Amino acid sequence: MSRNLSELSGRGGIVDNLFEKMGKSAKATGTPDKADLDQLAQDFLIGKSSTYGAATFYDFMKPENQGKKVYVCNGSACLCAGTQDAVHEALGAHFQADEIGHMTCLGRCHENGAFHYQGKNYSAKSPQEIHNILSNSGSYAPDVYHVAANKTILTAPFPGFDTYYAILKEALKKGPEACLEEIKKSNIRGRGGAGFPLWIKWNGCRMEESDQKFIICNADEGDPGAYSDRYLLEKQPHSVLLGMMIAGFITGADWGVVYIRAEYPEAIHIVQKAIAELHEHDLLGMNIADSNFDFDFKLIEAQGAYICGEETALINSLEGQRPEVRVRPPYPTQRGLFNKPTVVNNVETLAAVPWILQHGGDAYKAIGTEKSSGTKLVCLDSFFNKPGLYEVEMGTPLSHVIHEMAGGFKSPVKALHIGGPLGGMVPVDKIDSLTVDFESFAEGGFLLGHASVVSIPQDFPIIKYLEHLFDFAAYESCGKCFPCRLGTTRAHEMLKKAAANEYKIPMELFEDLLSTLEQGSLCAHGGGIPLPARNAVKYFREELNPFFS
């Protein structure tokens, strides 16, 4: 990272935001005008190469995006469902080929056939349905999916604004130390994948001395198959915002930045409306509820880059830099956004905080297992009889979620890719041995991560899935470190040739490549992508044998 660029970008604070201005410049045509980028460089006293280099990284700002009118989801769940070729073909009757782009993923994994048009997401199963949408003869209706729980925390009905924000007013009376102690007692761990204890991160930021601090909600974790963030932002926005406000009170932060995926347009509007509601009730700004607590929100629309789910890449993005991963230390809690102490938490983590403050840390710790407290949202795709989102107590048998709560599979499935692209590939005969918690998955050689579930059907070749996986990994790499930038590309090339029966991959070479990715990559993107590949080789060796030597 460049500390100087961070300082220059932060001269106008979070309100006058370089990245946001670049995105607005791209709205009209799909890419910022070069004159606009040059002017922004001049306004922020940075080089023209910096604004141009940043803009050309993102899917929805790069020059190749110019003129795009519709976007087809190419996420793993839609791939396995086999719906997207037909969607692409149907859209081709209405648009030129260069007017059709891609998005990954739209969070409609429960029904597939997903595409984005004029600022909204749709799922369509027939050319006629697509025609109706494009001609505006079909009215827009939000998608519907099952929501159920065996322990209700995150999915509880909203009790009303005044009742809910009484939690904040009570927290302000208790003081930051007492509130942090409840977080510590709860033993809540981050739900973004790493499972890091929340109180340690918050305390680290709290102990830093600075004239300004930030709380960032990472709503750009775009794991294909996961739509739990989308659910919380659209259906429970105040739980996320209140969690951020409590985080700000505990750490001494005065700004909350909600960084939301462009692929979730409905969530952006809903969260902005919830922020406006807070302003209407005088719960944002200076001296909130006569407590000397100052806090406000800034919502930023992301521009299409999976790597921004990594916290330091996200910080670089907010500064208008290329979203490359930063070397740590220093950690974001020490030097983050604009070189100020910063906490980055994912959506689900923040949404659990109000319940903890309302009911107490001990009550939360009593739910789940000794090391994995609380509940977890699990997302199930369209291969289930009752696809949808399930909130389960940590430690719940995975078989119970799949067979009892979701009603089992509609058609034969041979594996579940759980936890996003970096998660483990779980053969169906291992389902009975796993429980929904961090330790069970780690001990089994898998990763819980976001707890997204992508079903790989019986007739879908594993070699094709691996090819897709490394294509995704190579495309989404930030490119900063050689092992990830080159390794994911070489893996994709080998797998593509092997899938086309043009080449047999030497197993020793493939193993060496995976080890290099694991040991040499700067972040979990390159370091984590070998996990599903190793699982595939281990559990589907017979199927893969024809492609390896």
- pLDDT tens per residue across span 497-540: 999 988 999 999 999 999 999 999 999 999 999 999 999 999 99
Work out the pLDDT band at 122, boundaries 50, 70, 90.
very high
Residue 319 to residue 343: CA distance in whole angstroms:
15
Q: What angle do CA 463, 469, 473 make, to 5 degrees?
A: 145
pLDDT for residue 1 is more than 60: no
Helix ranges restricted to H, 187-264: 198-206, 228-235, 237-251
- Mean pLDDT, the chain, as a whole number? 96
Tokens 């995976």 appear where? 514
pLDDT in tens, 365-390: 999 999 999 999 999 999 999 999 99
Residue 261 to residue 73: CA distance in whole angstroms:
14
Mean pLDDT, to the nearest integer, of 275-300? 97
Residue 67 to residue 77: CA distance in whole angstroms:
27
Q: What is the pLDDT of residue 137?
A: 59
For the ranges 118-127, 170-179, 273-282, 515-524, the lowest mean pLDDT is seen at: 118-127
Tokens 């030129």 appear where? 96
pLDDT in tens, 241-250: 999 999 999 9
Instruction: Let me know: does 188 contact 374? Beta carbons within 8 Å.
Output: yes
The full length of the chain comes to: 549
Work out the pLDDT band at 124, boundaries 50, 70, 90.
confident
**CB contact set of 546 (below 8 Å; sequence gap of 6+):** none
pLDDT for residue 141 is more than 80: no
Mean pLDDT, to the nearest integer, of 29-38? 96
Mean pLDDT, to the nearest integer, of 285-309? 96
pLDDT for residue 195 is more than 90: no
**CB contact set of 29 (below 8 Å; sequence gap of 6+):** 66, 67
Instruction: Let me know: does 518 contact 527? Beta carbons within 8 Å.
Output: yes
Q: Smallest Cα–Cα separation from 348: which of 149, 125, 191, 524?
A: 191
Q: What is the chain's Cα-based Rg?
A: 23
Q: Smallest Cα–Cα separation from 234: which of 106, 113, 115?
A: 106
pLDDT for residue 138 is more than 70: no
What is the CA 303 to chain-centroid distance, rounded?
13
Tokens standing for 208? 């830093």
pLDDT in tens, 264-277: 999 999 999 999 99
Residue 523 to residue 199: CA distance in whole angstroms:
23
Note the pTM of the prediction, 2 decimals: 0.96
C-alpha distances out from residue 118 to 34, 70, 101, 226, 270, Å: 24, 7, 13, 23, 17
Q: Smallest Cα–Cα separation from 224: which of 118, 438, 328, 75?
A: 75
Q: What is the pLDDT of residue 221?
A: 81
CB-CB neighbours of 158 under 10 Å: 12
pLDDT in tens, 36-91: 999 999 999 999 999 999 999 999 999 999 999 999 999 999 999 999 999 999 99
**CB contact set of 75 (below 8 Å; sequence gap of 6+):** 104, 105, 106, 109, 114, 224, 225
Helix ranges restricted to H, 254-346: 265-280, 311-318
- Please name the helix (run of DSSP H) or strand (run of DSSP E) that holds residue 297, with its range, or none: strand 296-301
Q: What is the pLDDT of residue 470?
A: 98
Q: What is the pLDDT of residue 444?
A: 97
Tokens standing for 366? 């009593």
Cα torsion 318, 320, 325, 330: sign? negative
Tokens standing for 88? 């692409």
pLDDT in tens, 392-447: 999 999 999 999 999 999 999 999 999 999 999 999 999 999 999 999 999 999 99
pLDDT for residue 139 is more than 80: no
**3-state SS assignment for residue 331:** coil
